[in-house]
Amino acid sequence: MENRGKFIVFEGTDGSGKSTQLKQLAKYLRGKGVACTLTHEPTDSPFGGILRACLTGRIDTDERAIAALFAADRLDHITNGVNGILRQLDAGITVLCDRYYFSSLAYNGGAVSAEWVAQLNAPAMALLRADLTVFLDLPPEESMKRVSRRGETERYESLENLRRVRDAYFAAFERYGAGENIAVIRSEEDRDRTQAAIRREVAKVFGGKL
Ligand code: TYD
């Protein structure tokens, strides 16, 4: 469909600068006359609310329950009849999404079986693959510095975890990324350079017409 919106996903370890780059990209695209919306996972729906409570430790639960909740949150995000991603794309709106199923494959396949996490996400993969997945890559040591500067500590943030998650991302791209458009972009200290590299990839998705 010619005027269907594009689905562009950002992935990366914590502190990789995804949200800043996403916002900058949205501004750029709107300036070019592209209707676009920003969204993220975990979402702001009730599913996402439970997940955030799990991530901050307010709810202490099992890793399998968390993995299943992420998959449920994602399915609702895709299919919701009010503001779901498919609906937006069909309306010609480009959707920029902070994290998608590769986050589950990278983060949630450690404590529980990676195969099982992949199975949980199979419906999402069948429903909607991204036109472009940007992986913002940042060495774990650098990532740690940025995260501690922000003064945040969440469940997954430690040097060892960052390394594990980054490795798991690359493993997931190998294993489940066949036929997908995945761009690994180095998250540089100079944000504008990073943004320029992202825009080059995004332009390709729009057939160079930006
Ligand atoms: P978020 O506040 O979005 O972090 P960030 O701004 O760093 O992206 O928190 C999301 C956390 O949830 C992050 O640590 C990764 C984790 N996560 C999963 O474990 N599985 C998933 O499927 C998703 C989407 C996120």
Task: Give pLDDT, residue 153.
Answer: 59
Q: Which residue has the tokens 């590769």?
A: 102
> CB of 28 closer than 6 A to ligand 1?
no
C-alpha 97/C-alpha 199 separation (Å) is 15
Average pLDDT for 184-210: 94
- What tens digit of pLDDT does each residue of 104-161 get? 999 998 788 999 999 999 999 999 999 999 999 998 888 787 767 766 655 456 888 8
Q: For the residues of the chain, what is the DSSP string, one character each?
A: -TTPPPEEEEEESTTS-HHHHHHHHHHHHHHTT--EEEEESS-SSHHHHHHHHHHTTSS---HHHHHHHHHHHHHHHHH-TTT-HHHHHHTT-EEEEE--HHHHHHHTTTTS-HHHHHHHHHHHHHH---SEEEEEE--HHHHHHHHHHTT---TT-SHHHHHHHHHHHHHHHHHH-TT--EEEEE--SSHHHHHHHHHHHHHHHTTT--
Query: Looking at residue 19, what is its pLDDT?
Result: 93
- The residues pairing with 36 across neighbouring beta strands, listed in sequence order, are 94
- What pLDDT was estimated at residue 183? 98
pLDDT of 94: 98
CATH number of the 7-205 domain: 3.40.50.300
For the segment 4-61, what is each residue's pLDDT rounded down to a tens digit? Answer: 999 999 999 988 889 999 999 999 999 999 999 999 999 999 999 999 999 999 999 9
- pLDDT for res 16: 87
Residue 62 CB neighbours (<10 A): 11
Check residue 53 and give its pLDDT. 96
Domain edges within the chain: 7-205
pLDDT of residue 156: 53
How far does the centroid of ligand 1 lie from the alpha carbon of residue 1, in Å? 32
Whether residue 73 has its Cβ less than 6 Å from ligand 1: no
Q: Which atom of ligand 1 is nearest to the CA of 154?
A: 14
- Supply the pTM of this predicted model: 0.93
Asked whether residue 92 carries a pLDDT value surpassing 80, the answer given is yes
Distance CA 191, CA 173 (A): 25
Q: How far is the CA of 174 from the centre of ligand 1 (A)?
A: 21
Q: Could you give the maximum distance between any two Cα atoms of the chain, in Å? A: 48
Mean pLDDT computed over 173-178: 96
